Amino acid sequence: MAESLFWALVAAFLLGCLAVAAASLDGALGARGRGAGNLAGGWSAPLAETARLMRQRRRTLVAADVLLWRTGGAALLVAALLKVAVVPVDGWALADLAVGLVWFNAMDVTVWAAVWLTGWGANSAHALIGGYRFLAQGLAYELPLMFALTAPAVAAGSLRLAEVEAAQRGGAWFVLWMPVAFAVYCLGVVAFSVWGPLSVAAGVDLAGGVLAELSGVDRLLVLAGRYALLATGAAFAVPMFLGGADGPLLPGWAWFALKTLLLLAVLVALKRRLPVLRPDRFVEVGWLVLLPAVLLQVLVVSVVAVWRY
Amino acid sequence: MGVRQWLTTLSLRQVHVLVVEVPGWWSTRVAAQQQLSARGWPEASSPADADVLLVCGHPGARFDAAVEQVWDQLPGPRARERAETPSDVADALDRAAAVLADTDRQRRDAQDRDRPDDESDQHSTDADAHEDSDGDSGANSHEMSDMDHGDMGDMGDMGDMDMSGMDHGDMDMAPGGIPLAGGGDDRDGLEMDVLQVPLGPVLPCWPAGLVLRCSLQGDVVVAAEVEVLTAGSTAPAPDLSPRAEAARLCDQARQVLELSGWGTAAQQAARVRDDLLTGADAAACRARLGRLRATVERSRLLRWSLRDLGRASTTHGAAVGLPVPVGDVHDRLLSFLRSAGDLLDERLDEKADHHPADQLKVSARWTGTDPVELPDLVTGLDLAAVRLVVASVAPDTATADTSATAEVDGG
């Protein structure tokens, strides 16, 4: 009991490190984009931002649903922690559930509630519209994401992540023969982290959307939750698509860390490079392009799996 | 004490500034953005996100009241400054930082705000619900949140807003001082809540001083009324040199790009703008603008995203006799960049001595849309589209008739 608690804290700490790394990289990329000579300021941006938000007062709004508002804000971080519990590092996970993959997806759906509640609780038009935008976006990305997660499970014949990882050991990584599923998965990660091209819920045009009324610690929790979700998405992709701890020379955990950081860096860099996908148009793509494409991918994987055994 | 000092020092590296532009003080606002960018300070997206409220220019009485409301919504520690000329900006920001660093002063400010202020609070029954003293801070929407509260006599002119299908009878039912949403038929003839949400005048990437009072069903604008909050004194004469005109077009393009969520391109546009204003080498400006234009033109994702948004027909423009830009948001974005390029090609090198006649020609080439046109253009669009359309038609609030108001009823 005490031991698993210890490892849970370690996992939370590592997730925190990843989130800070993502935020630092984002700060540095922002500083570079501005043409600032001082990149050090960019790297340390999350530190300064945290200090600022710790010093800032929380807001109390008229007729706000304070309980749900704050629950929603904190739930993002909780969802990220619960997701990371099933991710195996070199075959060992905090909670090696037999249905780890389904667990991940279930936690993803709680993000829907968390983002929407953050928008709802503030009793502000902009925040509420932001929350609903996230749901509209969810309609577009969630089903393709679910089917994208199905592909590695079918190939490995298991919903247990350690077995999905083991199925790739010494063989072809799943990303190589299920690129469509991997791409759709990454899109899903970006979407549930309210990030980059899929960040309409926190859009500039809504004065920050779900973030519009948040300040102080409340804002800090939501921002940290977003980075943590992005980091979890990157970490989860490693056993799912990128061969887990598989790799030459270095020990398994090092490969895991390396792959996670690389994917995380790519996801972070995506932020400013693309225009935002407006939900009304993205839904069309989700259902007419992504969903059929990923279904075809699952079909191909299934045929291969049947032919193999 | 050490930790607190450390936090303060760290937090001053990332001061978030909410920049408010008064019509006519464009160049001050741009100078503020340049300063922020140079210091690595982000621009705040909303009052809740802001530490500093920086007013660029001299606002009129109504505008000032709106600024006052926004000020009440800053969470604190907070500071407020005003800058008239571009050269004032740096000092104003330094002063603001000093105020933020003064922990004792901030603590006093926080205590003063917590004290209930009965005279100004008409809804003392719900005093438990807020920490701010004026009874409606942060409610509903952060920009001029009481403009739409019919029960606030000072600014709200709800009484003469005649919008069909809206039920003003339930104005009295106002929990927390916010009237409940009325009902109305939506686009499909189903009854749906109608919420009054004012956009502006304090909103990033939004024309200076513009207030667009929208009636929202969901996030669709079914009716809108426009007003321009004016300056309190005559603004300095705008620089009409081709360089400045081009910079203004780049800034407009920046706003559209920012609103479409494309950070890199928006930053590029800001850099072209700043280069033009700081008198960088003409060829370099032209090259940078050319690259930006190529990037924007190449992006199929952007075209797909902005396609057919806010399409204005030529006949419409002709009918009302106003220079409504044709095409959709994407067309107008490209035309900003193209016109800026044209201006540079022709006049940049001889900016020192151009004739008054040339000035006229240049400034006649691009005049923003008259704000009274806006309700027509935005009715029936969702909020994201409204923001993009407004930025893309570049309403000219600086020269707008001060009494300009217009309204349109959704059908």
ipTM field: 0.89
Q: What is the pTM of this model?
A: 0.84
Q: Is it the case that residue A104 has pLDDT exceeding 70?
A: yes
> Hey, are the CB atoms on A204 and B177 less than 8 Å from each other?
no
Q: Is it the case that residue B138 has pLDDT exceeding 80?
A: no
Which residues, including other chains, have CB under 8 Å from residue A210's CB and lie 6 or more apart?
Answer: A115, A118, A119, A127, A130, A131, A134, A194, A201, A202, A222
Residue appearing with tokens 């490209």: B334
Average pLDDT over residues A147-155: 92
Band of residue B305 on the pLDDT scale cut at 50, 70, 90: confident
Q: Is it the case that residue B1 has pLDDT exceeding 70?
A: no
* Domains of chain A by residue range: 2-308
User: Best residue in A59, A120, A190 to probe B by mutation, most B CBs within 10 Å?
Assistant: A59
> Hey, are the CB atoms on A216 and B7 less than 8 Å from each other?
no
- pLDDT tens for A166-189 read 888 877 888 888 999 999 999 999
Closest in B37, B40, B45 to A204, CB measured: B45
Q: What is the pLDDT of residue A37?
A: 62
- CA dist., res. A76 & res. A57, Å (int): 21
- pLDDT tens for B20-30 read 999 888 889 99
Residue in chain B nearest A201 by alpha carbon: B384
> Hey, are the CB atoms on A58 and B75 less than 8 Å from each other?
yes
- CA dist., res. A87 & res. A97, Å (int): 10
Residues of A in contact with B255 (CB under 8 A): none
Alpha helices for B44-163 (secondary structure H):
61-73, 89-101, 103-114
> Hey, are the CB atoms on A205 and B383 less than 8 Å from each other?
yes
DSSP letter, residue B81: E
Q: What is the pLDDT of residue B166?
A: 41
Q: What is the pLDDT of residue B362?
A: 39
| Closest CA–CA distance from residue A164 to any residue of chain B (Å) | 35
Closest in A271, A272, A276 to B260, CB measured: A276
Residues of A in contact with B135 (CB under 8 A): 62
DSSP letter, residue A58: P
Q: Is it the case that residue B159 has pLDDT exceeding 60?
A: no
Share of chain A above pLDDT 70, in %: 98
- CA dist., res. A247 & res. A259, Å (int): 10
Average pLDDT over residues A200-226: 89
Q: What is the pLDDT of residue A69?
A: 87
Taking the Cβ of residue A37 and every Cβ of chain B, the question of whether any pair is shorter than 8 Å is answered with: no
Q: What is the pLDDT of residue B158?
A: 36
Band of residue A258 on the pLDDT scale cut at 50, 70, 90: very high
Q: Is it the case that residue A28 has pLDDT exceeding 80?
A: yes
Band of residue B392 on the pLDDT scale cut at 50, 70, 90: confident
Alpha helices for chain A (secondary structure H):
2-34, 39-43, 45-55, 66-84, 100-121, 125-156, 161-168, 174-177, 179-192, 216-241, 252-273, 279-285, 291-308
Closest in A48, A58, A63 to B11, CB measured: A48
Taking the Cβ of residue A248 and every Cβ of chain B, the question of whether any pair is shorter than 8 Å is answered with: no
CA geometry: angle B7, B8, B12, nearest 5 deg: 115
Q: What is the pLDDT of residue B104?
A: 86
- pLDDT tens for B334-375 read 888 888 888 887 654 454 444 444 443 433 344 566 777 788
Q: Is it the case that residue B297 has pLDDT exceeding 50?
A: yes
Across B45-49, B113-117, B335-339, the highest mean pLDDT is recorded for B45-49
Residues of A in contact with B219 (CB under 8 A): 129, 132-133
Closest in A41, A275, A276 to B13, CB measured: A41
Q: What is the pLDDT of residue A153?
A: 92
> Hey, are the CB atoms on B141 and A61 less than 8 Å from each other?
no
Q: What is the pLDDT of residue B165?
A: 39
> Hey, are the CB atoms on B7 and A41 less than 8 Å from each other?
no
| Mean pLDDT computed over every residue of chain B | 75
DSSP result, B259-326:
HTT-HHHHHHHHHHHHHHHTT--HHHHHHHHHHHHHHHHH-HHHHHHHTTTT-B-HHHHHHHTS-PPP
Q: What is the pLDDT of residue B116?
A: 59
Q: What is the pLDDT of residue B242?
A: 81
Q: What is the pLDDT of residue B256?
A: 92
Band of residue B319 on the pLDDT scale cut at 50, 70, 90: very low
**Which is more confident, A101 or B322?**
A101
B385 and B351 Cβ atoms separated by less than 8 Å: no
| Mean pLDDT computed over every residue of chain A | 88
How many A-B residue pairs are in contact by the CB < 8 A criterion?
190
Residues of A in contact with B51 (CB under 8 A): 52, 56
User: Best residue in B383, B386, B392 to probe A by mutation, most A CBs within 10 Å?
Assistant: B383
Q: Kindly report which listed range (A15-24, B147-156, B169-178) carries the lowest average pLDDT score.
A: B147-156
Q: What is the pLDDT of residue A233?
A: 93
Which residues, including other chains, have CB under 8 Å from residue A17's CB and lie 6 or more apart?
Answer: none
Average pLDDT over residues A68-80: 89
Q: Is it the case that residue A237 has pLDDT exceeding 90?
A: yes
DSSP result, B331-379:
HHHHHHHHHHHHHHHHHGGGTTS--HHHHHHHHHH--PPPGGGHHHHHT
> How far is C-alpha B65 from the geometric centre of its chain's CA atoms?
16
CA dihedral B269, B274, B277, B278 (to 10 degrees): -150
Closest in A55, A125, A205 to B387, CB measured: A205
